[in-house]
A and B are shown apart, each in its own frame.
Chain A
């Protein structure tokens, strides 16, 4: 090993990386003060480190390629031939049961949701729109044929909904959270109109799941805190911010729904500019 007053590059390198214990660090500190040449060498190493980080850190901010996200959500445990057999089996089962069967269990909850919504409406609960969001979810999610009015692929979806409900409607990208936008529809709401965006899970293994985002212009512009409530299996996150009311509805575990709600929250448009509101 080296004498304490003669440090090797390994020691200096570990010193720069903060890997030395306090005693040894102090020894190197002192030694470097006496050794301008070594000190310069270490300074250059530090500069190289900064240059490397500056070159590579921007990768963190790049959009993640959709193919990688698909890989994560669509990966199956079974080998390819088993997948093919499984798909064939599902097709046969699908023909027998009928496409509606898959969503039927969710449809059965609809009637109780309607009752709950009526009760809330009758009671004049301020959270009436949240009830309506849950109701709209329960009505349209089980639809095998027409769960949505306008498909996600159609360019005008966002523009159309924005124009109709008078708040900026953004098509939230939830693919990183494992959900893909199917499309949206316009709905009647007590205060006028509202919009519903529907998403379906990308994960092909577990049964398909759907969540909806309900958007409306709130009655009072007062912000409402980020809240959660549960009705049977259906969870809801809702909040009012920047002149828009949001309700995310889905029969998912709370943490999973929260991840989606946070993604929406991060992507939601900033406050409605006064000028554009007036021009409508």
Chain B
């Protein structure tokens, strides 16, 4: 049997949240929507596994997270854009407002985080989940979420302190980040 309309309705309502999380993982809008698409298909295929007592957004974020990891494992480095694409993507985001330089640095800093740390950071800071909720999504203990968020913060700040200024030294930064953590 297929997913009932009420379930589909809930999925549609959750799409903006999924898109935000996916966008934070991969920056490129099209690649992010691919993740959302995959997550929605998986959710529809396994709708019986969803416990209606639970928060559907957490369940969907968890599915999206796994879809992203699968894509990474398959070697499709969805999250790494060639520098010329990065400019293009940033141009497309002009309408978002705010300081271009800062956004560029934020992207670069996020991009340099280890995927595990980045997911934890984004779920807590942007999706505003508690450590316990993020732990459900990531399927790790809450203590792990706590240390990942902290390490991600430190690493990101180190990058922003050291790497500020228009041009992004792409290959030089990674070893330095290790030292900070």
Binding site for B on A (CB under 8 A): 9-10, 12-14, 17, 19, 41, 44-45, 48-49, 51-62, 64-65, 67-69, 71-73, 75-77, 176-178, 203, 205-206, 255-256, 259
With A19-B130, A52-B122 as given contacts, are A41 and B157 in contact (CB-CB < 8 Å)?
yes
Q: Is the CB of A49 within 8 A of B125?
A: yes
Given contact pairs A13-B153, A55-B98, A71-B40, A48 touches B3 in the complex (Cβ within 8 A) = no
B41 to chain A, nearest CB (A): 6
Task: Say which residue of B1, B40, B150 sits within 8 Å of A72 (CB atoms).
Answer: B40
Q: Are A56 and B160 in contact, with the CB atoms below 8 A?
A: no
Assess whether B156 is interfacial by the CB under 8 Å rule.
yes
Inter-subunit contact A178/B98 (CB<8 Å): no
Given A9-B150, A9-B153, A52-B125, A68 contacting B36 (CB threshold 8 A): yes
Q: Is the CB of B17 within 8 A of A60?
A: yes
Q: In chain B between 1 and 15, which residues have their CB closer than 8 angstroms to a CB of chain A?
A: 1-3, 5-6, 8-9, 11-12, 15
B120 to chain A, nearest CB (A): 11
Instruction: Knowing A55-B106, A75-B44 are in contact, say whether A67-B15 is a contact too (CB < 8 A).
Output: no
Complex interface: chain B residues within 8 A of A19 (CB): 130-131, 146
Which residues of chain B have C-beta atoms less than 8 A from A62's C-beta?
16, 19
Among B24, B131, B146, the residue within 8 A (CB) of A56 is B24
Answer whether A68 and B15 are a contact pair too, CB < 8 Å, given A14-B150, A53-B125, A177-B9: yes
Set of chain A residues within 8 Å of B24, measured between Cβ atoms: 52, 56
Residue of B nearest to A11 (CB): B150
Q: How far is the CA of A55 from the CA of B97 in the complex (A)?
A: 8
Interface assignment of B37: CB less than 8 Å from any CB of chain A:
yes
A196-B11 Cα distance, complex, nearest whole Å: 29
A71 to B41, CA, bound (A): 7
Tell me the minimal C-beta distance from B90 to chain A in angstroms: 11
Contact of A59 with B16 in the complex, beta carbons under 8 Å: yes
Kindly state whether residue B111 has any CB partner on chain A within 8 Å. no
- The range of chain B's interface size is 35 or more
CB distance from A237 to the nearest CB of B (A): 16
Q: Let me know if B87 is at the binding interface, CB within 8 A.
A: no
Report yes or no: A205 in contact with B2, Cβ–Cβ below 8 A: yes
| In the bound complex, CA of A208 to CA of B122 (Å) | 41
Q: Assess whether B102 is interfacial by the CB under 8 Å rule.
A: yes
**Minimum CB distance partner of B131 in chain A:** A19
The answer for the CA separation of A239 and B154 in the assembled complex, in Å, is 55
CB–CB B9/A259 < 8 A: yes
Q: Are B126 and A17 in contact (CB under 8 A)?
A: no
Report yes or no: B8 in contact with A178, Cβ–Cβ below 8 A. yes
**How far is it, in angstroms, between the C-alpha of A178 and the C-alpha of B95 when the chains are bound?**
30
Report yes or no: A75 in contact with B20, Cβ–Cβ below 8 A.
no
Partner of B150, one of A10, A58, A59, A178: A10
Question: With A and B bound together, what is the CA distance between A251 and B5 in angstroms?
Answer: 14
Residues of the A chain whose Cβ atoms lie less than 8 Å from the Cβ of B5? 178, 203, 206, 256
Q: Which among B8, B44, B95, B103 has the highest number of chain A CB atoms within 10 Å? A: B8
Which of B12, B96, B110, B146 contacts A13, CB < 8 Å? Answer: B146
Closest to A13 in B: B150
Complex alpha-carbon distance, A259 and B6, angstroms: 10
Q: Considering only CB atoms, which chain A residue lies closest to B107 in the complex?
A: A55
Segment 94-151 of B: residues with Cβ below 8 Å from A? 95-98, 102-103, 106-107, 110, 122, 124-126, 130-131, 146-147, 149-151
Nearest CB in chain B: distance from A55 CB, A? 6
Report yes or no: B102 in contact with A51, Cβ–Cβ below 8 A.
yes
Partner of A64, one of B6, B16, B97: B16
The CA-CA distance from A276 to B37 in the complex, in Å, is 44
Q: Which of A14, A56, A77 contacts B23 (CB 8 A)?
A: A56
How far, in whole Å, are A49 and B97 apart by their CA atoms in the complex?
A: 17
Chain A residues contacting B98 (CB-CB under 8 Å) are 51, 54-55
Say whether, besides A64-B15, A71-B40, A203 and B8 are in contact (CB < 8 Å): yes
B146 contacts A255, C-beta separation under 8 Å: no
Q: What is the bound-complex CA distance between A11 and B13, given in angstroms? A: 35
Q: List 10 A–B pairs whose Cβ atoms lie within 8 Å, in order of A's numbering.
A: A9-B153, A48-B156, A52-B125, A58-B97, A72-B11, A177-B12, A178-B8, A203-B5, A203-B8, A205-B2
Candidates A60, A73, A76, A255; contact of B20 at CB < 8 Å? A60
